[in-house]
Amino acid sequence: MMMIPITKPSEALTCREFVELVTDYLEGALTPLLQDQFEFHLSICEGCQIYVEQMRQTLKFLGQLNEAAIPTEGKEKLLATFRAWKQTLPNKAP
């Protein structure tokens, strides 16, 4: 794919904006303009290149997991932690 350089600073993505778009990028859900901006940033930012590779590896390994692979004790601890965390959230009025 030919990348179109971004010439206006207002069109360039920050690292924070980039990180917020990684999931959509990996799922192929970015608009063509955002994809160009994303790929431009990716081409010039070593830190974000590393981050995308880490995300790809994480997704690769998570795709190999299933519920049966989680030890019962670990599953119970995870659920208890989630329940305790959820109870600390402020109640929202309906």
Whether 44 contacts 14, CB under 8 Å: no
Q: In the prediction, which pLDDT does 29 show?
A: 95
Q: What is the mean pLDDT of residues 15-30?
A: 94
Q: Which residue has the higher pLDDT, 60 or 93?
A: 60
Task: Give the count of beta carbons closer than 10 Å to the beta carbon of residue 91.
Answer: 5
| Domain-located, residue 4 | no
| Domain-located, residue 79 | yes
| Domain-located, residue 23 | yes
Confidence of residue 6 (pLDDT cuts 50, 70, 90): very low
| Domain-located, residue 57 | yes
Residue 60 one-letter amino acid: K
Q: In the prediction, which pLDDT does 18 show?
A: 95
Number of domains in the chain: 1
Q: Note down the domain range covering 80.
A: 9-87
| Domain-located, residue 92 | no
Whether 36 contacts 2, CB under 8 Å: no
Q: What is the mean pLDDT of residues 82-93?
A: 77
Q: In the prediction, which pLDDT does 92 show?
A: 60
Q: Which residue has the higher pLDDT, 19 or 70?
A: 19
| Domain-located, residue 31 | yes
| Domain-located, residue 93 | no
| Domain-located, residue 30 | yes
Q: Which residue has the higher pLDDT, 64 or 35?
A: 35
